[in-house]
Chains A and B, each alone.
Chain A
Amino acid sequence: MSALSDPTNPLDANRLRVLLDAEGSRRAELLPRLLAQGVAVTATGSGTVAPLDDAELLYLCDADDSAQSTVEIVAGEGEAEGISGSRIGIRGLDADSVADGVLERARGEGHGEPAGGWTPWFPVIDYDRCTNCMQCLSFCLFGVYDVDDEQRIDVAQPQRCKTNCPACSRVCPEVAILFPKYRHGPINGDQVQAHDVEREKMKVDVSALLGGDIYSLLRQRHERAESRFSKERDDDRALKERQRCLKKLQEDLDIPDDVLSSLPSAEQIRAKAAARGASVSPAESTDPATAPTTSEDTP
């Protein structure tokens, strides 16, 4: 994924990490509440924990000494690296008060909502399966995908993905796109079975049976339909047919209602395609195997 620098991007928010120094039942009481607030927690104990990073650290200590102070903290057994952090005694405080206090502190110190108010739903590419066919790039109308410096497909803007929409994974011919929070396999990351691959192959075969250029055929069909409608015009029937097709597509691809209602307009799609076309060099655009398709090809 490429670097994210949009100030309105929820993924740019600073993070707060809590170091929790408490025992047994107290840890069990506090951890779920802190996690529910979207705060990462390092629980001390025997063994080692993740190496320190640049996140700001808040040290919650369930000890008698309840005074706030700045202390030298050694995170984890065997990690001699000392760090500075704010130490807060939490002895006697109930779990909800502690969790609320941490959240308030996060907001007060400019961390915003720890989770950024964003549901982390986005595609993850299994590069063991991906053939770089660019179907997903052509299909997604929200600008989630792009290509990296090596012209390899990349999830460039994960925060643009529409929550609960797995449609791009349904059009991937190689079962290479995962949504870890999806209900069903193999899209959720479960092992890809032979019948999953066969199903995708059938999609490809249908395309091949139609002459390999399904979009050209669709255009021809559209022209024939336009010609027919111009002779026997029935707007109501046309609208019903369009709604029926859209409903079927929505069901087939498991697209949520709110995603359909937020599709970009035809003008926006044309503008995106034009911008994309301008950014593709002539050398790239002459190679049909790697050239990204334009919105004309988008169903």
Chain B
Amino acid sequence: MTSETSQRPTEEPGAGRRVLYCHCAFARVVDEGVKEKVLHGLASSDLAFDAVPDLCELAARRDPALGRLAAEGRTEIVACYPRAVRWLFHAAEADLPEDDVTIHNMRDTEPETILDRLLGDDS
């Protein structure tokens, strides 16, 4: 699994990729300012994406959307630590593929960096 890659997308933003954004709505562990900037940047772009209130909650429910997302590949997940995200998906019986998945960590990465990686020059 690729984590926090520093490579910029070399293709049209959004083409063929799926982006999942976690709002971590039920805890204060992700800086509100970071979440706000990342969400605003994504929403202001033309990129199609899925936004969920809380990935932990989806994993606890074993939400089938996670399984389908994991199975599709070419996914970028904007959430928290890659180790946590990977095992949350496992808990939801939706193992992420070892590669073809990029996890952007809002707990330790600047929002501008995340948006740059997601949107390239459009951010």
Contacts and interface: CB of A to CB of B under 8 A. Distances in A.
Contact of A115 (B15, B26, B43, B59): B26
Nearest to A2: B62
A51 B68 contact: yes
A41 B25 contact: no
Nearest to A18: B51
Contact of A51 (B69, B93, B107): B69
Interface in A49-84: 49-51, 53-55, 76-77
B121 interface: no
B29 A36 contact: no
A191 B36 contact: no
A1 B62 contact: yes
Nearest to B71: A51
Given A48-B48, A50-B65, A188 B43 contact: no
Interface residues of B, number: 59
Contact of A189 (B44, B58, B85): B85
Contacts of A8: none
A204 interface: no
A113 to B, nearest CB: 11
Nearest to A55: B65
Interface in B63-102: 63-65, 68-69, 72, 80-85, 87-88, 90-93
A181 B24 contact: yes
A120 B57 contact: yes
B84 A188 contact: yes
A133 B73 CA distance: 33
Contacts of B44: 24-25, 27-28
A43 B49 contact: yes
Contacts of B48: 42-49, 76-77
Determine the main DSSP class of A at the interface with B. loop
Nearest to A187: B84
Given A32-B39, A39-B53, A181-B29, A54 B60 contact: no
B54 to A, nearest CB: 5
Interface stretch (A121-129, A214-222, A252-260, A285-293): A121-129
A178 interface: yes
Which range holds the interface residue count of chain A?
Answer: 35 or more
B117 interface: no
Given A51-B72, A124-B87, A180-B88, A42 B50 contact: yes
A143 interface: no
A178 B60 contact: no
B86 to A, nearest CB: 8
A126 B83 contact: yes
B3 to A, nearest CB: 10
A149 B44 CA distance: 47
B68 A46 contact: no
A31 B63 contact: no
A173 interface: no
Contacts of B42: 43
Given A47-B16, A183-B29, A190 B83 contact: yes
A40 B60 contact: no
Nearest to A39: B53
A115 B25 contact: yes
Given A43-B50, A48-B48, 12 more contacts: A38-B25, A38-B54, A39-B53, A40-B52, A40-B58, A40-B65, A43-B49, A47-B47, A115-B54, A121-B26, A189-B85, A191-B83
Pick the 8 closest A-B CB pairs, nearest first: A47-B14, A189-B84, A189-B81, A28-B43, A120-B57, A120-B56, A45-B48, A181-B27
Interface of B: 12-20, 23-27, 29, 36, 39-40, 42-65, 68-69, 72, 80-85, 87-88, 90-93, 107-108
11 contacts: A40-B65, A41-B51, A45-B49, A50-B50, A53-B63, A114-B53, A121-B27, A125-B91, A158-B60, A178-B83, A188-B84
